[in-house]
């Protein structure tokens, strides 16, 4: 997961303005999709999104089985963006430490799901 893609400025600006939780989707090994609302998320190194694993259950199982995933978010003017990519779950290291620095202390922060950006869409328009 040494993704070198840097997030497009339009998407970076949209991310910084996004409102509310994001929708984080994964797929089980048997093809059953799973989507959760996630509020503890952050852009990481301009090429990844980190989602804090505070209470993952099916999501973690899906990641461990090799699922790719997507993040869907809205801007204040209701423009939607979807980021797709490979996912890695870590419980130590730089990304984990980064997550612990912004994840609310009252939440467990058991791990960090790192979505390496491979594709970006705004509606049906492919940006990357």
Distance CA(1)–CA(34), nearest Å, equals 22
Q: pLDDT tens digit string along 5-44?
A: 667 788 999 999 998 899 999 999 999 999 999 999 999 9
For residues 3 and 118, the answer to whether their CB atoms sit within 8 Å is: yes
* pTM value surpassing 0.75: yes
3-class SS of residue 68 = strand
Could you tell me which CATH number the domain at 9-126 has? 2.30.110.10
Distance CA(41)–CA(30), nearest Å, equals 27
Q: Return the ∠ at Cα 27 (arms to 23 and 31), rounded to 5°.
A: 140
Domain map of the chain by residue range? 9-126
């Amino acid at each position: 997961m040494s993704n070198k893609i840097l997030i497009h400025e339009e998407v970076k600006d949209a991310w910084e303005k996004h409102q509310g939780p994001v929708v984080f989707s994964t797929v089980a090994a048997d093809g059953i999709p799973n989507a959760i609302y996630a509020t503890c998320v952050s852009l990481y190194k301009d090429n990844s999104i980190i989602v804090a694993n505070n209470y993952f259950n099916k999501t973690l199982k899906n990641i461990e089985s090799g699922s790719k995933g997507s993040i869907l978010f809205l801007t204040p003017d209701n423009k939607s963006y979807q980021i797709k990519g490979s996912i890695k779950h870590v419980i130590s290291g730089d990304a984990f430490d980064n997550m612990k620095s912004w994840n609310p202390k009252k939440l467990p922060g058991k791990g960090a799901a790192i979505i390496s950006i491979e594709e970006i869409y705004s509606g049906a328009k492919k940006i990357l």
